Structure 1
Amino acid sequence: MQEYGLVSVIMPAYNAETFIAEAIQSVIDQSYSNWELIIVNDASTDATEKVISAFFDDRISMISLKQNQGTHISRNKAIQSASGNFIAFLDADDLWKREKLQKQLAFMDENSASACFSSYELIDEQGIELNKKIEAFPVLEFQKLLKANYVGNLTGIYSVEKLGKIAVPDLRKRQDWGLWLEVVKKGGAMLGINESLAYYRVRKGSISSKKLPMLKYNFNIYHKVLKFNKIRSLYYMLIFLKEQLLVKPKQTKDLN
């Protein structure tokens, strides 16, 4: 198998005892074995730390925070300590398919890409497939990404050698969108793989299921991260709403 370099996998975790073992195992099971998994335990009050500690693999490390600080802080602490040639992301309740890293690294090498993402499928809280696929655009340019977040964070990967380390913005929610906007701004259009390479777990009470809070966090991306004035931020919010109504359903494919 061709060697592409070390991949640093970033995994924030807070009270994730129910799902995190599966997430970790999906990294261990990768056909591409040159990776390090950096898990940041964000002051969990359940058995998350115990579950993590049960894995005996030198490639897995854990950073434990004494106070809960949020996903953005956790991700950035892991990015700071990462030593890989590439940085990839996996939340503690999501899963990768076995060939995920291998196929993405080969794709990036063949296309001289600085970053890429892929399609992914939805599962419920019990891990049952919902027969829905979120399809990746083949090319995702900044102006398109500005309209809505079309990168499934569990599939995104970028080259540290080409872009340097890129941190997530200081936002409790939607910081992954801010990260990929910066990646595309710095490295040019992201390339997408149509094949589904991961499973996203749909959970009750997630931010995506709460429409009004989601709009507030999206406004923060435009106003606080991209530094748009309020009028321009509101303008892009209208574009976002239009994009969600017209484009997002087309991106979701029913596999039944």
Structure 2
Amino acid sequence: MTSQARRPNAEGGAEGPLVTVVTCVYNAGEYLRPSLLSIIDQTYTNLDILIIDDGSTDDCFDSVQDLLADERVRVIHQANASKPVAINRALDQIRGEYYAIQDADDISYPTRIERQVRALLNGLHLAAVFCGNELIIDGRAMAPVFAPKGEDDCHSEIRAFRMPALDPTGMFRMSLIGHLRFEPSLQVAETYDYILRIGEEHPMIVLGECLYAYRILPNSLTRRAPAWRKRFESEAFRRACERRGLRFEPECEDRGHRSRNSLLDNNIAAHFIRSVLDLRRSNHRLSALRTGWQCASLHPADPHYYKALAYALIPPGVTSRLRRDFLAIPLETTK
């Protein structure tokens, strides 16, 4: 982490600082191979790919044996101990000047690492750079979110107890945040807590590009047990209030949920609304309509899921006014 930073060449290449990409794996099944391939095939090649196997019991590692032969890949096996414990073990083994997160079932698009490295090299005071993302639902990529956010925008999000972007899209500067660790007691919302702590002390930005695909797993534990999930989210919120000298008011946390379905899926409709707004802002009206319809199709009998379609249809002037109100909805897409 003390080596001199060098700029990546036009193709990314191995001319820039070393980046450690951390992937925590627990029974990732068929998704591990495409996820790992998406990192191995990055245009930026100066990578240290660190995989923590958190006690997987399926055969997911059988499908990537040939990929593990890549000299940039390291694997550490451990008994199942929870994701925050696994990430903390990875943080103790970081070799790069920067580190990025890659969920074991998600996809990073080819230029993700290159673009984030360039942003960190151009902003030596930045602790983190995030990017936009889309969702993978039933094998289909949809609902890209790609609005840029500057330092002031991100600071405002953090002050409002919101993450500026989806947590696994982050790349972090170790010289500024390398001492921080994830809170082991938060089995869910550990990255929410971590990113709030970083943002309270350091500047960060969000690139205006969709460079990551986040896979929605409808049968995951966090979606089948919303009350269990909410308990950890509430604790992370309480910790943030305590750090800021504010009174903890848990009733404020439910403002983004509008139906039983939205509680079960972490208000995924909010992501679709953001996507529609970004597409409308970029004059992609047909794509906005398609995204709104995809959201409505998730739960055709639930009016909450038609809001994205409404945003796609209403006049731009009305959209601008509603957008200001919509920004109060928290960003939530925990697996």
TM-score range, shorter chain: 0.7 to 0.9
Residue of 56, 79, 82 corresponding to 1:70:
82
* 1:251 partnered with 2:265: no
1:234 alignment partner in structure 2: 250
Structure 1: which 5+ runs fail to align? none
The separation in 2 between residues aligned to 1:142 and 1:220, in whole angstroms, is 21
Q: Which has the higher helix share?
A: 2
**Share of identical aligned residues, percent?**
19
Greater length-normalized contact order (CA 8 Å, ≥ 6 residues apart): 1
CA contact 1:163–1:186 (8 Å) conserved in 2? no
Shift of 1:176: 1.0
1:1-256 mapped onto 2 (5 Å cutoff): 1-2=8-9, 3-55=15-67, 56-66=69-79, 68-112=80-124, 113-126=126-139, 128-129=140-141, 131-139=142-150, 140-145=153-158, 146-170=160-184, 171-188=186-203, 190-206=204-220, 207=222, 211-224=226-239, 227=242, 232-234=248-250, 236-237=252-253, 250-253=273-276, 255=287, 256=290
Please, what TM-score do these two structures have when normalized by structure 1? 0.86
Cα 1:235–1:17, aligned 2, differ >3 Å: closer, same or farther?
A: closer
The separation in 2 between residues aligned to 1:103 and 1:163, in whole angstroms, is 20
Cα 1:240–1:52, aligned 2, differ >3 Å: closer, same or farther?
A: same
CA contact 1:122–1:200 (8 Å) conserved in 2? yes
The separation in 1 between residues aligned to 2:109 and 2:242, in whole angstroms, is 37
The separation in 2 between residues aligned to 1:9 and 1:138, in whole angstroms, is 23
- Which range is displaced more, 226-235 or 117-126? 226-235
Secondary structure at the residue paired with 1:252? helix
**CA RMSD of superposed structures (Å):** 2.8
CA contact 1:89–1:156 (8 Å) conserved in 2? yes
Larger Cα Rg: Structure 1 or Structure 2?
Answer: 2
Shift of 1:103: 0.9
Cα 1:52–1:227, aligned 2, differ >3 Å: closer, same or farther?
A: farther
Q: Count matched residues.
A: 251
Q: Which has the higher strand share?
A: 1
- Which range is displaced more, 137-146 or 212-221? 137-146
